[in-house]
Every structure is written in C-alpha cells, then in structure tokens.
C-alpha cells in the first residue's frame, strides 16, 4: 500500500504569464468558443468566430491547450453581430450575443453531431428543423446573487464570465419584459436598508405576472419589509421570503407561512400546470410548448397506449401525453415533484396520468415495468449528468421507442451509444433554442428498435 509522505510537495500547475497575440481561428468548439493554434497548441477563444483575425489575451495555459479572450476584432466574420446587452463580455449569463442567431443554431447543431460522431453513433441524414422563438426577452426565471462590499455598496446580478465576482446588473435583455424592470428597484431597496442578510433573489414570471423569492440568512427589519410590500403592490409583483433551509418553506412580508403556486398554460393540450416557486420548470415557456408538441408528434402514440416518462418533474410531458389519450406514467425521484404531478393531474381531471416516486439509479427498470405492465414508449428528460443506468437497462428490454430530451450533448452521446449498442437506431434528431445567446444546448432524439 502506498504510504503518505508528509514531506512530499503538492504538484503545482505550470507557471502561466498572461500575454497578448494575434490569431486567426479556423474552428468552433461545442461551447461556442473559436478554436485556433498557437505554437502547435490548441487555443479556445471566447468572443471570436472562425475565420476572423483577432487580438486576444491568454487567460490560462496547459500542456496541451490554452484559453483566451478576445480583446479586438481586426477582421470580422459575416456572422458577427453587435451584442444588445452592455454587460456582454463581462457577465457570464450569455456567451454568444456576438453571433448571429442563424450561426448560433448552426454551431449548436454541429456540436451535437460531433459529439455523437465521437461516440460512434450515426446521426440521421436529415436533422429536424430547430425549434426557435424569440432570441431576447424569453427567460421566465432567473436567480440573482447579492453581495455587499466593505463600504456597504450592494451588487445585484449574475456571476462574471468564468469568475465568482458579480456583475452589477442594470439591464438583462434575455429576461422577460415583466422581470427586467425589477432589477434596479430591488437593488435600490437592498442598498437603502443595507440588507446584507439577503443572499439571492429569484425572479419568475408566470401567466399571472411577475414574482420574487428573497433568500435570506437572518430576519429582515420590519421597516424594510413594509417598504418591500408597498413596492410589490405598486409594481404588481408577488413577493415571498425564504429564510429556512428548505426552499419550499416560504413566508409573506408579514411573516405568515404560505404555500404559493405559479402557473403556466399549455393551450395546445388545454392544460394549466401549477408549481411551487422552488420547483424546477423550463425557463423558456414558448420553446417548452414547442418541445412538448414535437415530443407528442415524434412518439405518435395512439389512445390507450402506455408511455413512461422518466425524470418527469411536475408532469411537463406526462400530463400532455395523458391529455392526448395515452396512459402516461411519470417516474420521479423527488417526492415533492410527484406530489405536484398528482395535484396537476387531479386539477386537470386526467385519470390516465399516474405519478410514481422511483429513482431508476437505485431501482431496477424491470421491476418498474413489471408494476406498470406493457409499455409502448419511454421518454427520458434527465439532468445534465444524463441517464447511463437507465439507458443500460433500456437496452435490455423489448421497448420499441425511446425519446430522449437532453440538456448536455456529451452525456446524450454517451447514453445514445448504449442505446445503439442495445439494438436501437437514432432515427430523428433536432436541437431546441431553449437558451438563446448562451452556449447551453437542448436536444431531442428519437431511438427506435431495429
């Protein structure tokens, strides 16, 4: 057994001296950075496009690659556009505002295809038309961080690009119009009352308008809460406070315990879904509706057929599938999400929607299928880590169709390889512009048994 040597010095990262250079990148990485070469070493350049000539500053250097940021565009590419937000380049919320919308989608499509190719998974010859909507004013949810400096000056905003420091936001054009005007007055309220106990402010916009959840470590002064209540009334904004560790325990400005619900409609399915402000929901409601419609179209279930929706959350897919006539079974590891799904099924009078608390990383899929009976299709909408355990088990079943909704091309490719090796073929594939102006990539993939 290797013994610990207390005298051994820890390895140090190679010494790095920031420097500037001129470079012409020729490629694009999966996260939207341009790829160039420097002394035979790959350089990933933020804020540059392939084919441009740019002056950059190196920000990190390893033995095999380096990272850089664009300082000046000497010769621009036709795909370059002017960023709309004045915080762009400092704020880490958006990375791609300098790219035309068409180029953003092309980059994201290519990133998905490249990841699949590296995993030895053949993409369909024809990709589905990307799902797209408004490039700005789309985001219905956001979390802003709060920090006070030693002089008592407050900063309210997002983290800086690749940094823990905050950007003092004065605008955020990707937020929905009902949310962006709230940033400045909330910052003034924090400053006036020196509310260093507040750590984050969650903004949300649903079918009823704007809402805020203030996360705080200590009770807030009565005068500050009275001012906040008056401000909320004048701005027609619902306000709740979260001072407990449990994010589902909220209070109003008078200190009374509340259990509020936000709502979003799915008019195509004649549904209205309610959710707690701390529940996960998609941030882009327009693309979410398009995504659900495409999922129903690709699965093409007949009334009475059975579909299992894994990682179902509050029932974003489960309930529309049931509204379409299928028997829809939602599986979710988080008990509160299962409760919310059942609430929504009852409120929408869907007797053919069922929600079961199951974690398929801990429970055999065959056990679940034995409980549900014959299943015609399986839908997966996992977190960024993907669903390798589930896909491994799916390959062992006689299921005919698997629809995979992904927020990470790398884990999609890894899981797709398992499905393909298990006898499935990737027959339909398309990206979804859930997060315009950012490097996040959402994908829908349909696998059918060969």
Q: Is 114 annotated as a binding residue?
A: no
Nearest-Å Rg of the Cα atoms of the chain is 24
3-state SS assignment for residue 8: coil
Contacts of 306 (CB under 8 A, 6+ apart): 326, 327, 329, 372, 373, 374, 375, 376, 377
Confirm whether residue 122 is marked as ligand binding: no
Helix H segments across 260-386?
285-299, 318-323, 335-347, 365-372
Segments of 253-312 assigned E as strands: 257-258, 262-266, 271-275, 306-310
Q: Has 391 been labeled as part of a binding site?
A: no
Question: How many Å apart are CA 255 and CA 17, to the nearest integer?
Answer: 53
Q: How is residue 99 written in tokens?
A: 């790219």
Q: Which secondary-structure segment (H or E) carries 42?
A: strand 41-46
Cα 274 to Cα 344: distance, rounded to the nearest angstrom: 7
C-alpha 373/C-alpha 75 separation (Å) is 62
| Nearest alpha carbon to residue 402 among 382, 373, 372 | 382
From CA 304, how far away is CA 348, in angstroms rounded? 18
Q: What is the CB-side half-sphere exposure of residue 8 using CA atoms within 13 A?
A: 6
Catalytic residue among 310, 312, 391, 407: 407
Asked if 212 is an active-site residue, the reply is no
Q: Is 61 flagged in the annotation as binding?
A: no
How far apart, in whole angstroms, are the C-alpha atoms of residue 119 and residue 177?
Answer: 41
- Is 352 among the annotated ligand-binding positions? no
- Tell me if 110 is assigned to a ligand binding site: no
354 is in an annotated binding site: no
Residue 359 assigned to a binding site: yes
Ligand-binding site membership of 85 (annotated): yes
Contact 117, 142 (CB under 8 A): no
d(CA 45, CA 264): 39
Closest CA to 32 of 164, 176, 172, 161: 161
Are the CB atoms for 294 and 440 separated by under 8 Å?
Answer: no
Q: How far apart are CA 151 and CA 170, in angstroms?
A: 20
- List binding-site positions for [4Fe-4S] cluster: 85, 91, 94, 172
- List binding-site positions for S-adenosyl-L-methionine: 282, 311, 316, 332, 359, 381
- List binding-site positions: 85, 91, 94, 172, 282, 311, 316, 332, 359, 381
Q: Which residues are catalytic?
A: 407
């Amino acid at each position: 057994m290797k013994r610990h040597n207390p005298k051994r010095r820890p390895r140090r990262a190679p010494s790095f001296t920031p420097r500037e250079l001129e470079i012409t990148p020729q490629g694009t990485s999966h996260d939207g950075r341009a790829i160039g070469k420097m002394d035979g070493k790959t350089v990933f350049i933020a804020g540059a496009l392939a084919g441009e000539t740019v002056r950059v500053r190196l920000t990190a250097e390893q033995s095999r690659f380096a990272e850089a940021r664009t300082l000046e565009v000497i010769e621009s590419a036709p795909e370059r556009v002017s960023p709309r937000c004045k915080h762009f380049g400092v704020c880490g919320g958006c990375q791609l505002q300098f790219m035309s919308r068409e180029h953003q989608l092309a980059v994201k499509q290519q990133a998905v295809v490249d990841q699949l190719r590296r995993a030895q998974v053949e993409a369909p010859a024809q990709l589905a038309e990307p799902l797209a909507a408004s490039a700005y004013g789309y985001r219905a949810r956001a979390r802003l961080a709060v920090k006070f400096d030693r002089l008592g000056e407050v900063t309210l905003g997002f983290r800086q690009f690749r940094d823990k420091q905050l950007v003092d936001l004065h605008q955020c054009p990707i937020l929905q119009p009902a949310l962006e005007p709230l940033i400045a007055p909330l910052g003034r309220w924090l400053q006036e009352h020196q509310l260093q106990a507040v750590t984050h402010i969650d903004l949300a916009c649903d079918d009823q308008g704007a809402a805020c959840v203030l996360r705080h470590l200590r009770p807030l002064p009565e005068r500050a809460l009275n001012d906040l209540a008056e401000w909320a009334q004048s701005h027609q904004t619902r306000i709740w406070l979260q001072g407990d560790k449990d994010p589902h325990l909220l209070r109003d400005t008078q200190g009374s315990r509340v259990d509020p619900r936000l709502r979003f409609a799915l008019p195509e399915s004649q549904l209205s879904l309610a959710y707690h402000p701390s529940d996960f929901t998609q941030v882009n409601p327009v693309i979410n509706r398009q995504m659900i419609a495409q999922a129903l179209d690709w699965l093409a279930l007949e009334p009475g057929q059975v579909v299992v929706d894994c990682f179902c959350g509050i029932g974003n897919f489960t309930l529309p599938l049931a509204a379409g006539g299928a028997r829809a079974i939602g599986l979710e590891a988080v008990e509160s999400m299962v409760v919310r799904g059942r609430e929504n099924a009852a409120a929408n009078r869907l007797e053919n929607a069922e929600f079961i608390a199951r974690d398929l990383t801990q429970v055999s899929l065959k056990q679940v299928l034995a409980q549900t009976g014959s299943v015609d299709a399986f839908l997966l909408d996992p977190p960024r880590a993907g669903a390798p355990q589930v896909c491994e088990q799916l390959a062992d079943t006689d299921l005919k169709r698997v629809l995979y909704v992904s927020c990470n091309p790398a884990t999609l490719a890894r899981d797709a390889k398992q499905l393909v090796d298990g006898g499935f073929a990737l027959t339909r594939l398309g990206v979804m512009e859930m997060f315009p102006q950012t490097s996040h990539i959402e994908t829908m993939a349909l696998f059918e048994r060969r």
